[in-house]
Structure 1
Amino acid sequence: MQYQIIPVTPFQQNCSIVWCELTKEAAIIDPGGEAALLQKAVEKLGIKVTKVLLTHGHLDHVGAAKEVANIYQVPIYGPQQEDRFLLDNLPHQCVQFGFPFHEAFEPDVWLNEGDVIKIGDMRFGVLHCPGHTPGHIVFINQEAKLAFVGDVLFKKSIGRTDFPKGNYQDLISSIKHKLLPLGDDIAFVPGHGEMSTFGEERQHNPFLS
């Protein structure tokens, strides 16, 4: 598995392009904005985008999802259906945060705990990890020991829970009971900032002590 992280939007959200080395099939995870930038990266890599994957419904993670899906004529997968209210309110989020206008949309497939996403020869398991948002999901590739966790967990920090329907106890439970048991050697790409490992966060994250 190969991947490239491309920060997008004024919030510097970590959009990830992941692809299968054998088949060159790819997915774009959390295209929050700057579709043209992402398109240039895909062209340079010489890969074929087959899916758009979303961890949750916040604007900086989904803003360009429909545009990217239309460019490549591919389906959008995720988040979990509890985040429908965020996708329905996308135009309001744009006004609230001063972003360019994006229409409300519905993904082609809502995802749930235990679902599996295939990208070429790669398989990503889906974990439902509410707290930051009620429908937040995480994508995990066990073979590569790599997870894409959106805004659930950050290096030495955790996702905010003061947004609508956020829940601090649910977030801590998601981290401690869904993510950390996967193993200390699992690296993760957060929605913002630097990568880390679950082991590092278990030992040094002040919110998890």
Structure 2
Amino acid sequence: MMSNKVISEWYIVNEISENIFWVREPGFVSFFIFRNDKKALLIDSGLGLSLTAAKELFTQLNIQEYDVICTHGHCDHIGLNGNAKNIGISNNEWEKFEKQNEKNQLLNFLTMLEKNGKKPSILNEREILGFNNWIPTHFLASGQLINFANWKFEVKSVPGHTCGSLMFHELTTNFLFSGDVIYTGKMYMHLKDSDIDDFYKSIEKLCTLKEIYPRLKVWPSHNVIPLPDDYPKKVQRALGLHSDGELPVVGKWQKDLIFEEGLIYSYDGVEIVVRSK
């Protein structure tokens, strides 16, 4: 079930359980597809850098129509939203998306990549789906249950990375899709709406959930996937040290087109960039 399938020289697809697909855009982001016959539910939708690649992805998976539920509204999570039938996101996240004009975030992101010589190989400026406008069809709230085919997703509010971040717990598989709430590598808490105190509470919520469901498997959107079982506790300990003013600072992050100025903290394999006050 975990064998790689490369589509359009861009997407790498793994079937992680029957009709559940982990889709990677190498070096950038992952999203997830639940398929029921020719319909699908996507948890996030990636960067949307190529119409051709997207068409091939859905053709290969025999998907003709899809909905999206968003962990948050950043450009690497909403790229295929423009072609979705229905889109769910938290109300706080959408209000922030509009207020901060985040529809321009993808352009800023690509500008930064090109400046650093990291322009994605698949990029074709004439068919970037991530530039397409989209609006939510409905808003998602913590505690809400989403039914799709035989799957049941419980919505959980986890602000911190953004003010309206969500994660989705699929109850029949015991899979948790965490978006950018937690992942290995640098975790970014230095956006305009990031909040380190909210992040601490959200990580505590995740750790409690893992105690309730010992076999919970966490599927983040970046880096090591699935998440190592001991990682949430490591992050919790690091945040406890930060709260006590004891987390070591190892560097600084300069303000750029997307992020605010921040301090880089590191402890026991956990790295967090926190917005400067």
Task: Name the TM-score, length of structure 2 as normaliser.
Answer: 0.63
Following superposition of structure 1 onto structure 2, how do residues 10-159 of structure 1 map, counting pairs within 5 Å? Answer: 12-20=28-36, 25-32=39-46, 33-34=48-49, 35-47=51-63, 49-66=65-82, 68-69=83-84, 74-78=85-89, 80-88=90-98, 89-98=101-110, 102-155=131-184, 157=185, 159=187
Cα deviation, residue 106, structure 1: 2.3
Cα deviation, residue 102, structure 1: 1.9
Cα deviation, residue 86, structure 1: 4.6
- TM superposition outliers: structure 1 runs of 4+ over 4 Å: 203-206
CA RMSD of aligned residues (A): 2.6
Q: Which has the larger radius of gyration?
A: 2
Task: Find out whether 1:2 has 2:29 as its counterpart.
Answer: no
What is the alpha-carbon distance in structure 2 between the residues aligned to residue 90 and residue 64 of structure 1? 15
Relative CO higher for 1 or 2, CA cutoff 8 Å, sep ≥ 6?
1
Letter in 1 for 2:150: D
Q: Which residue of 1 is the match for residue 193 of structure 2?
A: 165
The 3-state SS of whatever aligns with 1:154 is coil
Cα deviation, residue 135, structure 1: 0.6
Letter in 1 for 2:19: Q
Letter in 2 for 1:94: L
Cα deviation, residue 4, structure 1: 1.7
Q: Which residue of 2 is the match for residue 200 of structure 1?
A: 230
The answer as to whether partners of 1:25 and 1:47 remain within 8 angstroms in 2 is: yes
Once the two structures are superposed, residues 22-55 of structure 1 have per-residue CA deviations (whole angstroms, 9 ceiling, x without a partner) of: x564211211214543432332223454411111
The answer as to whether partners of 1:201 and 1:208 remain within 8 angstroms in 2 is: no
The answer as to whether partners of 1:5 and 1:14 remain within 8 angstroms in 2 is: yes
The 3-state SS of whatever aligns with 2:152 is strand
The answer as to whether partners of 2:91 and 2:140 remain within 8 angstroms in 1 is: yes
The 3-state SS of whatever aligns with 1:147 is strand
Distance 1:64 1:24, change over 3 A: closer
Task: Name the TM-score, length of structure 1 as normaliser.
Answer: 0.81
What is the alpha-carbon distance in structure 2 between the residues aligned to residue 131 and residue 56 of structure 1? 11
How many residues of Structure 1 are paired with residues of Structure 2 in the alignment? 198
